[in-house]
Amino acid sequence: MAATSEGSGMKFTRRDLLVWSAGAAAGLVVSPVPWKILDDVSIWSQNWPWIPQPARGPVDVKQSFCTLCPNGCGLRVRMAGGWPVGVAGVGSHPISRGALCPLGFAAHQLNWHPRRLRVVQHHGQPSSWSEAQAAFAKARGEGPIVIIDGYPGRAASSVLKTFAEKQGGTYRVVTSSESRALAPYEAWIDAPSSSLGYDLENAQTVVSFGAPLLDGWGTPGRFTRLWAEKSAGMADPQLRLIQIDSSLSRTAARAWQRVQIREGSESALASGLARVLIEQKPVPAHGPIPALSLTEAATQTGLSPDAIRDLARTLVSHLPVLAIARDDNPAIAALNVVLGAVGARGGIVRRSTNNESYVSTDAGIPSARAVVIDGSVPWNFVPQTDTEIFRFAAWDGGAMKADWLLPAPGFLEELTDVPTAPTSSVETYAVATNLVKAPTEFMSAAQFLSVADSTLTPVDKIIHSRCEDLFRKHSGTLYGQDATPVARIASVQKLEEQFSKGAVWVREASPPGNLHCELKEWPAAPPESRGGSWATEWPIGVMPPLATKLYIESNLREAPERRNA
């Protein structure tokens, strides 16, 4: 039966709701996976002999956060006899707003997955934690250690970083494509890219260069909700999405306008648009003129010079406008500078005064005696080194080059804090409590390093001091059952109590214009766009059965005739 959203006159069905809530990050299952594999997974999943019987016991609902990727979506977890048996989004979460990706919806199944890692392995053979600790002690006695983190900013990250620094080693991060897309600004502004975000809520035109905004980009629910509220089904929407793509992606199919260009010509189009804006000045546009002529941009993109001129006029006809790249493409970042979108309302904003900058593994991994890879690092990250590797992971996602494979805590088995999501325009903080006690055979990288160096401050103490800090500053609002300004919270204990119940702290948005940006030369084109994201790289072999089912039974699946249309 079709449901109609009251007041808006807009119609959507139950099927639409599923796509709306689950589809935002559905890129993780709409990657080009052969159908045969999906079928096999479905058949296989129906016959699991090891499927646990649902626990008998009191049924309870708790709030927490999904930490399977750095988006940290709010979760409502149905617990039976102390075990999670169902997961839903939290509508009051200020960023994820009730949405989850299919992986999040099915995450409670992950801890029983057949590819769950349960024993320490050394060169593929069963080993033990004490042997791994002995090997690590030997390695750190012989030379520096490189530590790689896939979810920077957590209390656990602080343990990893401190260990590396104390030991004279190196801390590196593997970043998502959304974070990489903000990296080019670092060369032109006075702030690290980790303090930047997209002010989508105040943008009126968003031009996406291949970023899957309606299909797996950023925190699911944020852009899709905005789209549903301000645009879907409207001929003249309040929020215009222009999708530049070389094929008819799901986002392109639903966008207000779609522009098809040749694959890999995004930089050329950004240069052509910037040239038109600077030369013809339909709005005050400043910046260095790109070396590429309009004719060259047209040849490379497959568009005519007139089409590029028209597109430039469309972009600035409904301001503020914001360009979003799929990856670290500096020409698209430079287009934002020309559009005046950097440090402006509805553009790229500075969300925090955090000055911590991270060095990405893209900069290379220095030579070391050993490399420690945290469980937050995607499986497809393979360090280009032949040194000894200690790799933590909760599941075996394949392609994991490691001398030591170390079983890490799984879904909701570990106390962790939840720093701001990569694309958010406001700073947030939350704490995901371990709703399930991890069995003793699991250990996180932070715990492992704390065993190796007992002077490191443990994760729970770092979280406590971060809460004390928030309480002392008396700024921001805590979103739990109600929205409460931190200034009205009586004590740090009360604040921590709220956090343990799933509240989210949100700092007031910084005023626009707090960024100084100076672009002197038009940047050179990047070697190649890498696209993808942490969540989209979740391999099908470790997909929980419910996520596969969500995919097959919804219309998240791209119709074959649309692919590469």
Q: Does 535 bind ligand SF4 (CB under 6 A)?
A: yes
In the complex with ligand SF4, which residue's Cβ is closer, 410 or 512? 410
544: contact with ligand SF4 by CB under 6 A: no
Q: Does 104 bind ligand SF4 (CB under 6 A)?
A: yes
Q: Looking at beta carbons, which residue is closest to ligand SF4? A: 104
Smallest distance from ligand SF4 to CB 390, Å: 25
Beta strand pairing status for 370-373 and 388-393? parallel
Kindly list the distances between the CA atom of residue 223 and the CA atoms of 120, 219, 230, 425, 504, in Å, as whole numbers in the listed order: 41, 8, 10, 12, 19
**Residue of 29, 103, 259, 298 interacting with ligand SF4 (CB under 6 A):** 103
Q: What's the rounded Cα separation, in Å, for the pair 227 and 207?
A: 13
* Burial class of residue 246 (count of CB atoms within 10 Å of its CB; 0-12, 13-18, 19+): middle
| C-alpha torsion 4→5→8→13, nearest 10 | -60
220 touches ligand SF4 by CB under 6 A: yes
User: Which of residues 274 and 418 has its CB atom nearest to ligand SF4 in the complex?
Assistant: 418
Which part of the chain contacts ligand SF4 (CB under 6 A), choosing from 101-109, 326-334, 360-368, 451-459? 101-109
**Under 8 Å between Cβ of 110 and 410:** yes
Contact between 444 and 392 under an 8 Å Cβ cutoff? The reply is yes
When the beta carbons of 346 and 539 are compared against ligand SF4, the nearer one is: 539
Q: Judged by CB under 6 A, how many residues of this single chain contact ligand SF4?
A: 13
Q: Scanning residues 12 to 51, which ones bind ligand SF4 (CB under 6 A)?
A: 25
Q: Which residues contact 41 (CB under 8 A, 6 or more apart)?
A: 540, 541, 543, 545, 548
**376 binds ligand SF4, rule: CB under 6 A:** no
Q: Where are the alpha helices (DSSP H) in 206-293?
A: 222-230, 250-254, 266-280
Among 19, 22, 29, 73, binds ligand SF4 (CB under 6 A): 73
Q: Which stretch binds ligand SF4 (CB under 6 A): 95-103, 251-259, 275-283, 349-357?
A: 95-103
In angstroms, what CA-CA distances link 119 with 122, 262, 286, 398? 10, 48, 58, 16
Q: Tell me if residue 158 falls in helix, strand or coil.
A: helix
Does the protein bind ligand SF4 through residue 504 (CB under 6 A)? no
Cβ proximity to ligand SF4: between 136 and 505 the closer is 505
- CB of 71 or CB of 444, closer to ligand SF4: 71
Point out which span in 69-77, 194-202, 360-368, 408-416 binds ligand SF4 (CB under 6 A). Answer: 69-77
Q: What are the tokens at 416?
A: 């962790």
Residue 101 C-beta: closest distance to ligand SF4, Å = 3
Is there binding between residue 183 and ligand SF4 (CB under 6 A)? no
Selected range binding ligand SF4 among 96-104, 263-271, 396-404, 495-503, rule: CB under 6 A: 96-104
**Partner residues linked to 517 by β-bridges:** 189
Among 22, 41, 68, 196, binds ligand SF4 (CB under 6 A): 68
**The only residue of 66, 106, 156, 298 in contact with ligand SF4, by rule CB under 6 A:** 66
- 182, 199 in Cβ contact below 8 A? no
Least gap, CB of 68 to ligand SF4 (angstroms): 4
Angle (CA) 178-184-188 rounded to 5° is 140
- Contact status: 547 vs ligand SF4 (CB under 6 A): no
Candidates 61-69, 237-245, 405-413, 554-562; binding stretch for ligand SF4 (CB under 6 A)? 61-69
Smallest CA-to-CA distance from 173 within 155, 145, 146, 195 is with 146
| CB nearer to ligand SF4: pick between 104 and 330 | 104
How far apart are CB 342 and ligand SF4 at their closest, in Å?
26
CA separation for the pair 249, 212 (Å, rounded): 8
- State the nearest-atom distance from the C-beta of 69 to ligand SF4, in Å: 3
Q: Could you give the CA distance from residue 71 to residue 91 in angstroms, rounded to a whole number?
A: 15
* Binder among 71, 193, 423, 498 for ligand SF4 (CB under 6 A): 71
Question: Which residue, 71 or 548, has its beta carbon nearer to ligand SF4?
Answer: 71
Closer CB to ligand SF4, residue 72 or residue 539? 72
Nearer to ligand SF4, 320 or 532 (CB): 532
Distance CA 298, CA 257 (A): 19
- DSSP state letters, 181-207: HHGGGGGTBSS-GGGEEE-GGG-SEEE
The strand pair at 121-122 and 404-407 is best described as: antiparallel
Residues 89-104 as b/e (b if ≥16 CB within 10 A, e otherwise) read bbebbbbbbbbbbbbb
100 sits near ligand SF4 (criterion: CB under 6 A): yes
Which residue ranges make up the site for ligand SF4 (CB under 6 A)? Answer: 25, 66, 68-69, 71-73, 100-101, 103-104, 220, 535
